A and B are shown apart, each in its own frame.
Chain A
Amino acid sequence: MADSFTATVLTPDSFAIWIEAQAREGARFASLLALRSGHETPLFGILSSAGRYNIAKCELGHGETPYPSLGSVTPVADWYERRIFDLFGLSSTGNSKDPLILQRDVKRSARSKYTGKPTNQRRNGSNPSVTGEGIFKIPLGPVRSGVFESIEYVVETPGEEILNVEPRPFYKHRGVVLGFAERSVEDGALLAERAEGVSGVAHAIAYCQAIEALSEPEVPVQAQLVRVIHAELERVANHLESTMRHCEAAAQAVALSRLGLHKEQVMRLRADLCGHRFSRGVVSPGGVRVPLLLDTAVTSDRISNLEREIDRDLTLLLKTPSFVDRLRGTGVVTYDQARLFGALGPVGRGSGLTDDVRASHSYGAYRRLGFLPVRQISDGDALARQLVRVDEIEGSFHLLKQALDELSQMAPPAKGWLTEQKVVTDGESLGWAEAAQGEVLYLVAVEDGKLRSVDLRSASFHNMALFSTAFPKDIATDFAFIEASFGLSVAGVSS
C-alpha cells in the first residue's frame, strides 16, 4: 500500500469532531466521499486549507450503526450524507433519507408525491419547505422546455415570488461512480470524461492525476501543457454557454447568435487540435494520447482571433442596459452564505471567495504559468457571476497563449507523449482539477493494477446544494437567469 495522501484514521465519533475542529479553524469543507473496500465502506472527509487537502478516514465497520451527521459543520453536508446513503447505503444520524441522486423506488411517479405536505425539512440555514394558504408547488421538469438536461425543480410559490426551490437531480442518475469498479486504469479515464461531459477534460485531469500520484514515471511537461490547452478551451466554451443562456433569457437575440458563433469556433478549434469536439480521448494516465494536431503558430493565430472577437462582443454585452439590468440584483448569494456552504467556482468567486484550485492547489503545468490578477467581485448576484466568467475567459486566453508559447520552444517529449503507467502501486489517492464549474475531486483506490473503487465529486453537485439559497427575493421570471448563472451540468450532479 502506498497512498498518495496521509489520512487521519478516526472513529465515527471523533470523525465529526475532527471535521468540526478543522472547519472552525477556517478550513473549507470540500467533500465527504466513500470508497468500497471488501465488505466495508470507509468514509473520507476532505477539507481544504492553506493550499492542501486535509483528509480524515472513518472506518465504519459494517455500517449498521449510523455515523454522526456533519450537519452542524455546514448545511451542504446534508447533500453529501443523502448521496452516501443513496449510493452506499450508509446512513448518518441526521440523514433525511429523501432520495437525492438515486430514487430507489422508481415506480413511484414524481407527480404522485405532491401531497401538499412539506416533503423535505432541511436544516441549518437552508430554507425549509414552506406551507401556508395559497402556497403551491410547481414542478419544473424533469422534461424541460428546451434542449436541456433533465432535472426537476420543485418551486414553492404563492404565485410570483419564489419562496423555495428543491432540486431533484435523481432522474438522470446512471450509475457513474459504481461503474468504475473492476475497470482498468485506462478505461477509468474514458468514464471520467463522460461523468460530466461538458467538463470532461477537467474530470479526466483530476482522475489521471490521482492515478499518477500512485505511479512513478513523471508526466512529460509538454503533455501537461497540452492538458492545460484543452482544459482552458473547455472553460471558454462552458463560460460562453452560460453567457448564451443569459442572453436567451434576456431576449438578446443578436448577442445569442454572435456568442453561438464564437462557441462553435471554440469547439471546432478543439476538434482540430485533437479530433474530438469535446477533447475526449486526449488526457490519459501518464500524459496525453494525442499531441496538438495543429501547428502552435496556427493555433496561436486562431486563439488571438477568437480572443479579439469574443472580447468585443462581451464588452458590448456588458454595456447593454437591457442585459445588465436583468442580471443585477438577481439571485444574490451573500458572502456569508457562500462561505458557509463552501461555494465553488464562479458561484463562490462572484460572492467574494477567492479559491481557485488552479492557483491555490496548483497542479500540472499551471505551476509554470502566470495568472492574470483576479478582480475582487463580491456582489453575489447573477451579474457578479457573469463578470467572473468574463474575467475568466480573458484569464484562459492569457494561459493559452503562455502554454502555446512554452510548447513552441520545446521539442516533443523524448520518451513519447504518454509515459507507460505500469508501476501503478496499490493504494488510495486523491486528484483534483478546476473545471469551468469549479473544483472537481476524484478519490481513487487501486488494487492489483485495477480500479477497486472510485468516488468523485463534481463542482456541479456541491453548488447545486446551495442553489435554493440563491432566491432571497426573486420571482418566477428570475429563475432562468439564476439557473444560467450557476452554469451547472446535471450529469455532474447526479453521477
Chain B
Amino acid sequence: MTWIFKGLSNGVVTSKYPKKADGYGHKWQGSLMVSRGATANQDRIEQDCPTHAIGFESGQARIDIGMCIFCGRCVEKYGDTFSFTPEFETARLTRELLVVPELSEDETDLASVKAALAIRMKAFGNSVVLRHVDCGSDGSEEWEIAALTNPIYDVQRLGITFTASPRHADILIVTGAGSLGMVDSLKETYLQMPNPKAVIAVGTDAISGGVYSSSPQTVKNGINEVLPVDIYVPGSPPSPFGILYGILLALRVVSDRNEPR
C-alpha cells in the first residue's frame, strides 16, 4: 500500500523528448568539433590519440567519431583545433557520416541507404521490439540501454519495448568490440530474428573496436564485419538519450519529419 503513494510522490519525471527538447541531453559532451583550416604538429596529434581516430587530409584535421573514446586528450592539448560540443543526436546511418568535419558526401548514396532501410522499417509502423546482445562490451553500455526503461526515459511511451526472444524482435542492438567467442552466438541470434530486421551498433567499441581494435581477441573493425549495421551510435558509452535518438533515427527513416541524417 505504501508503495502506491511512493510511486506518486515525485509526480511525472519523464522526459518529453523527442516531442520537446530535453535540457539534460545537451549537457552531454557527445561529439567533437574540429576547426577548419590547416593545423601544425600533425604527427604529434595523430600519435597522441589513443585510438588513432584523428587523421589529416591536406592539412585539415578530421576526427572519426566512430573511433573516438571521448577521452578529451586532444581537447586538453590542442584546444584551438578540437573542442567538445554538447550534442547527443550523434547517431548516423553510415559509417562515413561519423567523420567530422564531414567529408564531401554523396547525396545519392545516403538516399539509397535511407530508402533501403525505409523499406524494412515500414513494416513496423511506429512501434519496434528490441533485442540486445552483448558482444564483448565493458558493461557500461548495458547500464545505459537498461536506463531507457527507467521513469525518466520510459521508452515504452514511444512504442519501444525490449524482448527476451530474438523471434519477437525487430531491431538487434549490439554492444561491444566483437569478441571472437560471441561472434557465432551473435550471428545465430540475428538469423533467428524474422525479416524484416535492422541492426544498431551501440558504442564506439561496437562501431570500430575502440581501444580493442588491435586486439587479437576481437574482430578488427567492429560489428559491421559480422552483421550489416544500419545505425551507428557513437560514444564510450553513449548516453541513454544518444541511444534513444539512434532508435528514433531508424523509425524516422519512414516518415521523414525532421529529416534525420
What residues make up the interface of A, taking CB atoms closer than 8 Å to B? 102-103, 106, 109-110, 142-150, 170-176, 178-179, 183, 186-187, 190-191, 194-198, 200, 241, 252, 254-255, 257-258, 260-261, 263-264, 267-268, 271-272, 275-278, 280-281, 289, 313, 316, 320, 489-492
A254 to B9, CA, bound (A): 11
A171 contacts B185, C-beta separation under 8 Å: yes
B91, chain A: closest CB distance, angstroms: 17
> Which of chain B's residues has its CB closest to A268's CB?
B24
Residues 156-206 of B contacting A (Cβ, < 8 Å): 162, 164-166, 176-177, 179-186, 188-189
Q: Which of B134, B135, B152, B177 contacts A148 (CB 8 A)?
A: B134
A147 touches B179 (CB 8 A): no
Please give the distance in Å from A189's CB to the nearest CB on chain B.
9
Q: Choose from A110, A190, A198 the contact partner of B185 (Cβ within 8 Å).
A: A110
A173 with B143: in contact, given A254-B3, A271-B27, A281-B71 (CB under 8 Å)? Answer: no
Would you list 23 pairs from A and B whose C-beta atoms are within 8 A, ordered by A residue? A102-B217, A103-B181, A106-B180, A110-B185, A147-B145, A147-B162, A149-B137, A150-B136, A171-B182, A172-B136, A172-B179, A172-B181, A175-B218, A183-B50, A186-B73, A194-B138, A254-B7, A260-B149, A271-B27, A281-B70, A281-B71, A281-B72, A489-B139
Known A171-B182, A174-B212, A174-B215; judge A150-B133 contact (CB<8 A).
yes
Known: A179-B211, A257-B7, A281-B70. Contact between A316 and B179, CB under 8 A? no
Give B246 Cβ to nearest chain A Cβ, in Å.
15
Q: B236: CB under 8 A from chain A?
A: yes
Residues of A with C-beta under 8 A to B236: 194, 280
B13's contact among A194, A254, A261, A280, by CB below 8 Å, is which? A261
Contact, CB under 8 Å: B6 / A254: yes
Taking a contact as CB atoms under 8 Å apart, the answer to whether A260 and B142 are in contact is no
Q: Given A197-B139, A280-B71: A261 and B151 within 8 A (CB)?
A: yes
Chain A, Cβ-Cβ closest to B217: A175
Contact at B3–A147, with CB atoms within 8 Å? no
Q: Is there an interface contact between A143 and B139, defined as CB atoms closer than 8 Å? A: no
CB-CB < 8 A to B180: which residues of A? 106
- State whether A175 touches B150 (Cβ < 8 A): no
A28 CB to closest chain B CB (Å) equals 26
* A198–B7 touching, CB < 8 Å: no
From A191, A264, A272, A277, give the contact of B150 (CB < 8 A). Answer: A264
Bound-state Cα–Cα, A272 to B182, Å: 35
Bound-complex Cα distance A88 to B183 (A): 23
Q: Contacts of B72 on A, CB cut-off 8 Å?
A: 275, 281, 289
Contact of B135 among A172, A200, A277 (CB under 8 A): A172
